[in-house]
Amino acid sequence: MLDNELDAHAETDISEYTQLTQVQVSLDDAAEAFTKRDASGRIPIIVVPKQLNRVRNEIVLAALFILAFGTVGGIFINNAMMIAIAVPIGLLLLVLGVYRSFVVRIPEGVSALLMRGGRYVKTIGAGTHFVPPWVLISHLVTRREIPFDVPLVQAPTKDNVRANIDTLMTFRIVDPYQFVYNISA
What value does the mean pLDDT take over residues 111-124?
A: 93
pLDDT recorded at residue 18 = 53
- Does 71 have pLDDT greater than 80? yes
Question: Which is more confidently placed, 21 or 151?
Answer: 21
pLDDT recorded at residue 113 = 94
What value does the mean pLDDT take over residues 63-69?
A: 87
In DSSP terms, 94 is beta-bridged to none
Residue type, 168: L
- Does 88 have pLDDT greater than 70? yes
Whether 66 contacts 97, CB under 8 Å? no
pLDDT bracket for residue 13 (50, 70, 90): very low
What value does the mean pLDDT take over residues 121-134?
A: 92
Whether 125 contacts 111, CB under 8 Å? yes
Share of the chain above pLDDT 90, in %: 18
C-alpha dihedral (166, 44, 32, 132), degrees to nearest 10: 150
For every residue of the chain, DSSP letters joined together read --HHHHHHHHHHHHHH-----EEEE-GGGHHHHTTS--TTSPPPSEEEES----S-HHHHHHHHHHHHHHHHHHHHTT-HHHHHHHHHHHHHHHHHHHHHHHEEEEPTTEEEEEEETTEEEEEE-SEEEE--TTSEEEEEEE-S-EEEEEEEEEEE-TTS-EEEEEEEEEE--S-HHHIIIII--
pLDDT recorded at residue 26 = 85
| pTM for this entry | 0.69
